[in-house]
Amino acid sequence: MIAGGVGSLPFRRVAVLGPGLIGGSVALALQRAGTASVVVWSAQADELLAARMAGFATEESLVALARRADLFVLCVPVGAMLPVSGELVPHLAPEATVTDVGSVKAPLERELRPLLGDRFVGAHPIAGSERSGFGAARADLFEDARCFVVPSPDAARTTAVERFWGALGCRPSRIGAEEHDAIVARTSHLAHATAALLLHAIERDRPNALEFAGPGLRDTSRLASSDAVLWTGILMANRDEVRAALSSLAFETGRLQELLKPGREAELGEYLELARDARKRIPG
């Protein structure tokens, strides 16, 4: 059962825009809870068909969609959020609220806040996988997941959006947009970039080595299987923080190269121990 239980959801009509992995999981979680009506919109016919076959009401028109919900969850790629919102906003009721799932927040605050005003409450549930599309969606994806919430000047809307994500199983945390982007550049975006870097380094030096790879490389490189178009948009949207994180990675690469010199075994062991201790602090 979704955390929070029946009656805890502050919205009774929810529109999910973009039923991919995250959007589809939002819809499935709401469907399982049975505490709100759900309508799904997508610009992609195959996504709409998949949602319809899963039992969801669907809508092809953003104008018509605007009349069918009091909460709109933007789950489209980051680069599509502004044009989609621009088409939607003239038709929204004054009491309607908009949230999102974008993994960058400062660019969206700059773009969507002037357009949507106080009705917009940015969010980012820390959940997902390297898989994509509605077929990868799960009703339990958000259970016990952290969810960043960037407050709106409208305190009541902010609280309602926190309750919404809490009802889906998340543990909401308020945060500023810039601080959010600095954190996820290092905890998420750098991990995706590093997976790509690792595979390119192997391919450059020993292309045939991959056929002999074991579980260590499979686990370490898993994120490189993610949707390249989606992650191009994310990395470019947060490029300043990602570049700063990559500079830190380059510094640590240099440190490790120095520790691999003869006679520095004890220092290398300490370095690896510190990394192991840091790994233990990751939730779950």
122-177: pLDDT as tens digits: 999 998 777 778 888 999 999 999 999 999 999 999 999 999 999 999 999 999 99
pTM for the whole structure? 0.89
Helix 106-116 / helix 81-88 crossing angle, nearest 10 deg = 10
Could you identify the residue written with the tokens 């292309």? 207
CA angle 82, 83, 86 (to 5 degrees): 85
Decide if pLDDT at 256 tops 50: yes
Q: Mean pLDDT over residues 111-115, rounded?
A: 96
- Which pLDDT score is estimated for 283? 82
Decide if pLDDT at 225 tops 80: yes
For 23, residues 6+ apart whose C-beta sits below 8 A from its C-beta are 16, 17, 40, 73, 75, 76, 101, 137
Q: What are the pLDDT digits (tens) for 48-89?
A: 999 999 999 999 999 999 999 999 999 999 999 999 999 999
Distance separating alpha carbons of residues 18 and 40, to the nearest angstrom: 7
